[in-house]
Protein backbone atom coordinates (compact mmCIF):
# COMPACT_ATOMS: atom_id res chain seq x y z
CA UNK A 1 0.00 0.00 0.00
CA UNK A 2 2.87 2.35 0.83
CA UNK A 3 4.40 1.81 -2.63
CA UNK A 4 1.01 2.49 -4.23
CA UNK A 5 0.76 5.79 -2.36
CA UNK A 6 4.21 6.80 -3.57
CA UNK A 7 3.33 6.00 -7.19
CA UNK A 8 0.11 8.00 -6.95
CA UNK A 9 1.89 10.99 -5.42
CA UNK A 10 4.59 10.81 -8.13
CA UNK A 11 2.01 10.90 -10.94
CA UNK A 12 0.25 13.84 -9.29
CA UNK A 13 3.53 15.71 -8.96
CA UNK A 14 4.31 15.14 -12.64
CA UNK A 15 0.98 16.61 -13.67
CA UNK A 16 1.20 19.56 -11.31
CA UNK A 17 4.64 20.43 -12.69
CA UNK A 18 3.55 20.16 -16.34
CA UNK A 19 1.31 23.08 -17.36
CA UNK A 20 1.23 21.81 -20.95
CA UNK A 21 -0.69 18.75 -19.75
CA UNK A 22 -3.62 20.71 -18.41
CA UNK A 23 -5.63 20.82 -21.62
CA UNK A 24 -7.33 17.66 -22.81
CA UNK A 25 -6.19 16.72 -26.27
CA UNK A 26 -8.25 14.91 -28.85
CA UNK A 27 -8.10 11.14 -28.74
CA UNK A 28 -7.62 8.98 -31.79
CA UNK A 29 -7.62 5.27 -31.00
CA UNK A 30 -5.44 2.96 -33.02
CA UNK A 31 -5.10 -0.80 -33.29
CA UNK A 32 -2.25 -2.61 -35.03
CA UNK A 33 -4.26 -5.30 -36.80
CA UNK A 34 -1.11 -7.21 -37.77
CA UNK A 35 -0.44 -8.14 -34.13
CA UNK A 36 -3.50 -10.42 -33.97
CA UNK A 37 -4.43 -13.78 -35.51
CA UNK A 38 -8.21 -13.78 -35.17
CA UNK A 39 -11.11 -11.39 -35.53
CA UNK A 40 -14.86 -11.09 -35.16
CA UNK A 41 -17.31 -8.54 -36.58
CA UNK A 42 -19.66 -6.16 -34.82
CA UNK A 43 -22.34 -4.22 -36.70
CA UNK A 44 -23.57 -1.55 -34.32
CA UNK A 45 -25.52 1.61 -33.74
CA UNK A 46 -25.44 3.94 -30.73
CA UNK A 47 -28.01 4.94 -28.16
CA UNK A 48 -27.39 7.81 -25.75
CA UNK A 49 -29.68 8.25 -22.74
CA UNK A 50 -32.34 6.05 -24.40
CA UNK A 51 -32.27 8.06 -27.67
CA UNK A 52 -30.80 6.59 -30.85
CA UNK A 53 -27.85 8.68 -32.07
CA UNK A 54 -28.87 10.39 -35.31
CA UNK A 55 -25.37 11.16 -36.60
CA UNK A 56 -22.94 8.30 -36.04
CA UNK A 57 -20.23 10.33 -37.78
CA UNK A 58 -19.92 12.44 -34.60
CA UNK A 59 -18.65 9.42 -32.69
CA UNK A 60 -15.72 7.02 -32.74
CA UNK A 61 -16.21 3.61 -31.11
CA UNK A 62 -13.32 1.36 -30.14
CA UNK A 63 -13.09 -2.12 -28.64
CA UNK A 64 -10.77 -2.90 -25.73
CA UNK A 65 -9.56 -5.88 -23.77
CA UNK A 66 -8.13 -4.41 -20.59
CA UNK A 67 -6.47 -1.20 -21.74
CA UNK A 68 -5.42 -2.60 -25.14
CA UNK A 69 -7.30 -1.32 -28.18
CA UNK A 70 -8.57 -4.26 -30.24
CA UNK A 71 -10.31 -2.40 -33.06
CA UNK A 72 -11.72 0.96 -34.13
CA UNK A 73 -15.12 1.28 -35.78
CA UNK A 74 -16.00 2.92 -39.07
CA UNK A 75 -19.32 4.23 -40.40
CA UNK A 76 -20.81 2.43 -43.38
CA UNK A 77 -23.82 3.30 -45.55
CA UNK A 78 -26.14 0.91 -47.37
CA UNK A 79 -28.87 1.80 -49.86
CA UNK A 80 -31.91 -0.48 -49.59
CA UNK A 81 -33.75 -1.48 -52.76
CA UNK A 82 -36.63 0.82 -51.76
CA UNK A 83 -34.36 3.86 -51.82
CA UNK A 84 -32.91 6.07 -49.10
CA UNK A 85 -29.83 5.13 -47.12
CA UNK A 86 -29.06 3.47 -43.80
CA UNK A 87 -25.94 4.10 -41.74
CA UNK A 88 -24.43 1.66 -39.27
CA UNK A 89 -21.16 1.15 -37.45
CA UNK A 90 -18.73 -1.58 -38.52
CA UNK A 91 -16.07 -2.82 -36.12
CA UNK A 92 -13.57 -5.69 -36.52
CA UNK A 93 -12.49 -6.89 -33.07
CA UNK A 94 -9.06 -8.57 -32.88
CA UNK A 95 -7.57 -11.22 -30.59
CA UNK A 96 -4.84 -13.84 -30.35
CA UNK A 97 -7.13 -16.43 -28.75
CA UNK A 98 -10.07 -18.11 -30.43
CA UNK A 99 -12.64 -17.34 -27.74
CA UNK A 100 -13.42 -16.18 -24.24
CA UNK A 101 -11.93 -12.69 -23.90
CA UNK A 102 -14.32 -10.07 -22.55
CA UNK A 103 -14.44 -7.12 -24.93
CA UNK A 104 -15.56 -3.70 -23.68
CA UNK A 105 -16.19 -0.49 -25.62
CA UNK A 106 -15.47 3.21 -25.30
CA UNK A 107 -17.04 5.97 -27.36
CA UNK A 108 -15.34 9.25 -28.28
CA UNK A 109 -17.55 12.25 -29.10
CA UNK A 110 -15.54 13.99 -31.81
CA UNK A 111 -17.02 17.54 -31.55
CA UNK A 112 -16.45 17.81 -27.78
CA UNK A 113 -13.44 15.51 -27.36
CA UNK A 114 -15.22 13.69 -24.51
CA UNK A 115 -14.88 9.96 -23.85
CA UNK A 116 -17.70 7.79 -22.47
CA UNK A 117 -17.81 4.16 -21.42
CA UNK A 118 -20.29 1.73 -22.93
CA UNK A 119 -21.29 -0.70 -20.15
CA UNK A 120 -22.09 -3.63 -22.46
CA UNK A 121 -19.45 -6.22 -23.21
CA UNK A 122 -19.26 -9.08 -25.70
CA UNK A 123 -17.35 -12.33 -25.49
CA UNK A 124 -14.81 -12.74 -28.26
CA UNK A 125 -15.36 -15.66 -30.65
CA UNK A 126 -13.08 -16.03 -33.67
CA UNK A 127 -15.01 -15.47 -36.92
CA UNK A 128 -18.06 -14.58 -34.82
CA UNK A 129 -20.56 -11.85 -35.61
CA UNK A 130 -22.80 -9.60 -33.53
CA UNK A 131 -25.62 -7.70 -35.27
CA UNK A 132 -26.31 -7.18 -38.95
CA UNK A 133 -26.28 -4.08 -41.15
CA UNK A 134 -30.08 -4.32 -41.29
CA UNK A 135 -30.35 -4.99 -37.54
CA UNK A 136 -27.27 -3.56 -35.81
CA UNK A 137 -26.29 -4.34 -32.23
CA UNK A 138 -27.33 -1.45 -29.97
CA UNK A 139 -24.49 0.00 -27.89
CA UNK A 140 -25.96 2.21 -25.17
CA UNK A 141 -24.18 4.79 -23.07
CA UNK A 142 -24.95 7.66 -20.72
CA UNK A 143 -22.96 10.85 -20.62
CA UNK A 144 -20.82 10.12 -17.61
CA UNK A 145 -17.58 11.72 -18.74
CA UNK A 146 -14.75 9.22 -18.33
CA UNK A 147 -12.09 10.56 -15.97
CA UNK A 148 -14.31 13.36 -14.58
CA UNK A 149 -13.95 12.21 -10.98
CA UNK A 150 -15.13 15.50 -9.49
CA UNK A 151 -18.17 15.87 -11.75
CA UNK A 152 -17.39 19.31 -13.18
CA UNK A 153 -17.68 18.15 -16.82
CA UNK A 154 -13.94 18.61 -17.43
CA UNK A 155 -11.04 16.18 -17.21
CA UNK A 156 -7.94 17.78 -15.75
CA UNK A 157 -5.48 17.62 -12.86
CA UNK A 158 -8.28 18.25 -10.35
CA UNK A 159 -9.70 14.83 -11.23
CA UNK A 160 -6.32 13.23 -10.52
CA UNK A 161 -6.23 14.92 -7.10
CA UNK A 162 -9.83 13.87 -6.38
CA UNK A 163 -9.07 10.25 -7.26
CA UNK A 164 -5.86 10.24 -5.21
CA UNK A 165 -7.84 11.61 -2.24
CA UNK A 166 -10.35 8.78 -2.62
CA UNK A 167 -7.63 6.12 -2.75
CA UNK A 168 -5.97 7.61 0.34
CA UNK A 169 -9.40 7.76 2.06
CA UNK A 170 -9.44 11.53 2.23
CA UNK A 171 -12.69 13.44 1.94
CA UNK A 172 -13.89 14.89 -1.38
CA UNK A 173 -16.85 17.23 -1.82
CA UNK A 174 -17.86 15.18 -4.87
CA UNK A 175 -16.55 11.85 -6.14
CA UNK A 176 -18.06 10.20 -9.23
CA UNK A 177 -17.00 6.57 -8.92
CA UNK A 178 -18.24 5.52 -12.36
CA UNK A 179 -16.21 8.29 -14.03
CA UNK A 180 -13.08 7.62 -11.97
CA UNK A 181 -13.12 3.89 -12.76
CA UNK A 182 -11.40 4.45 -16.09
CA UNK A 183 -10.51 0.82 -16.74
CA UNK A 184 -13.97 -0.46 -15.79
CA UNK A 185 -12.82 -3.07 -13.26
CA UNK A 186 -15.04 -1.75 -10.42
CA UNK A 187 -11.98 -0.81 -8.38
CA UNK A 188 -10.41 2.61 -7.83
CA UNK A 189 -6.63 2.42 -7.69
CA UNK A 190 -3.42 3.72 -9.25
CA UNK A 191 -4.36 2.18 -12.62
CA UNK A 192 -7.29 4.59 -12.81
CA UNK A 193 -5.04 7.51 -11.90
CA UNK A 194 -2.79 6.57 -14.81
CA UNK A 195 -5.88 6.28 -17.02
CA UNK A 196 -7.01 9.81 -16.11
CA UNK A 197 -3.50 11.09 -16.83
CA UNK A 198 -3.65 9.43 -20.25
CA UNK A 199 -7.00 11.07 -21.01
CA UNK A 200 -5.59 14.47 -20.11
CA UNK A 201 -2.60 13.86 -22.36
CA UNK A 202 -4.77 12.65 -25.21
CA UNK A 203 -3.64 9.05 -25.01
CA UNK A 204 -5.79 5.92 -25.05
CA UNK A 205 -7.47 5.59 -21.65
* Complete DSSP assignment for 7-55: HHHHHHHHHHT-GGGSSPPP------GGG-SEEEEEEEEEEETTEE-S-
Give the separation between CA 117 and CA 105, rounded to whole angstroms.
6
Tell me what pLDDT residue 16 has.
47
Is a pLDDT exceeding 90 seen at residue 205?
no
Assign 168 to helix, strand or coil: coil
Question: Mean pLDDT throughout 36-57?
Answer: 92
Report the range of poorest mean pLDDT among 21-25, 29-33, 131-135, 150-154.
Answer: 21-25
Burial class (CB in 10 A: 0-12, 13-18, 19+), 119: middle
pLDDT in tens, 97-143: 999 999 999 999 888 888 888 888 999 999 999 999 888 999 998 87
Bridge-based pairing of strands 137-141 and 38-48 is parallel
Give Cα 79 to chain centroid, integer Å. Answer: 31
pLDDT in tens, 165-201: 999 988 888 999 889 998 888 889 998 998 898 888 8
What is the rounded average pLDDT for all residues in the chain? 84
Closest CA to 94 of 185, 45, 30, 27: 30
Give the separation between CA 72 and CA 92, rounded to whole angstroms.
7
Dihedral of the CA atoms 184, 56, 138, 99 (nearest 10)?
-60
Amino acid sequence: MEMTKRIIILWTAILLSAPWAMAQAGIHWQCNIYEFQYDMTLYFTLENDDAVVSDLADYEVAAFVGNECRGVGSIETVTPSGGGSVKYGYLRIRSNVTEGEEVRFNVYHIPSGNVYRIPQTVSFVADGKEGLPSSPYMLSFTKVLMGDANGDQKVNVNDVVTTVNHILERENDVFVLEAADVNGDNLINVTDVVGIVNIILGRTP
